[in-house]
Amino acid sequence: MTSINTNSGALTALQMLGGTVEQREVVQEDIATGKEVDTAKDNAALWAISQVMEVDVAGFAAVSGSLTLGEATASVAAVGAERMTDVLLEMKQLTIIAGSGAVDYGKIEAQMAQKTEQLNSIISSTQFNGVNLLKTDIDGAGNSSLTIASSMDRTGSSAANLATISVDSLNFEGSTSFDINNRTAITDPASAQMALSEIEGFLNFAIEGAASLGASASKISSQNDFIGKLSDSMELGISAITDTNIEQASVRLATLNAQQQLGGLSLSIANASPLSLLALT
């Protein structure tokens, strides 16, 4: 039955048109923001997951900064230790020359003293950002090792735990294995032989230290690469659950535009029905 007082067709067309307009607005917002899940209202569960993951990504960015700083500090210290091995090799050559006899021991010892000062200068100046891994006290605060944030570990819904890497000082200042300032002075072949034995020990200590720092710098660099890849993967995961699929949204918008036009046409036809009845009177 068609009624003049109640136009059921127009009511139905209006409801359909209103639903289409609402869906169209949602799709338009998804396209404009690039986010299908932008607030908790969109999808509470996925939004909560994305927020936790974004916090972790921010944490990994801070960890990467710590690793970069730690790698630079260890690398600078390794360069200093390598330079010390070069100087110690020169000192070893001098002790060998002195042990052969028929040399001016005063001049040999003067050169040894200069190179000892050079070693002390390398120890005191090899620092990065105020941290010197060649000293006993690496940062002026009494610390003997550098602690570097290396990762964030999370299990289930528990709070994340911070993992660290520790790089110990080589302690060229206080180690009995590198007592360069109390080395034997060269005055004759016998003292030259004693000095040679000492320099050999100092050289081995410096070589092992440089190798250790180089290995630490390499380990830190590898961990930093891993953290970067892990962070990128997490960002892709966040994108997969929150970002708008632009291709699908564009097709959906075009469909809703057509539905809106058809809904408007249907509403016009429904509104015209009562007028048709009036024409019969």
Average pLDDT in the 135-145 region?
94
Q: Is the pLDDT of residue 78 over 70?
A: yes
Q: How far apart are CA 234 and CA 58, in angstroms?
A: 11
Judge contact between 153 and 163, C-beta under 8 A. yes
Above 60 in pLDDT, residue 13?
no
- State the average pLDDT over residues 46-53: 83
Q: What is the pLDDT of residue 17?
A: 47
Average pLDDT over residues 226-249: 80
pLDDT, position 46: 83
Could you tell me which residue, 158 or 163, shows the higher pLDDT?
A: 163
Residue 28's pLDDT is 62
Q: Which residue has the higher pLDDT, 99 or 112?
A: 112
Mean pLDDT value of segment 120-137: 95
3-state helix, strand, coil in the chain (%, to 5): 70, 5, 20
More confident residue, 111 or 43: 111
pTM for this entry: 0.75
CB within 8 A of 195, min separation 6: which ones? Answer: 95, 98, 112, 183, 184, 185, 186
Q: Please choose, from the candidates 66, 210, 71, the residue with its C-alpha nearest in 3D space to the C-alpha of residue 152.
A: 66
pLDDT of residue 165: 94
Query: Does CATH place domain 40-266 in 1.20.1330.10?
Result: yes
Q: Say what percent of the chain tops pLDDT 90.
A: 53
pLDDT number for residue 26: 61
Domain boundaries, the chain: 40-266
Comparing 5 with 158, the larger pLDDT belongs to: 158
Rg of the chain in Å (alpha carbons): 38
| Cα separations in angstroms, 20 against 245, 259, 263 | 20, 7, 8
| pLDDT at residue 52, rounded to an integer | 83
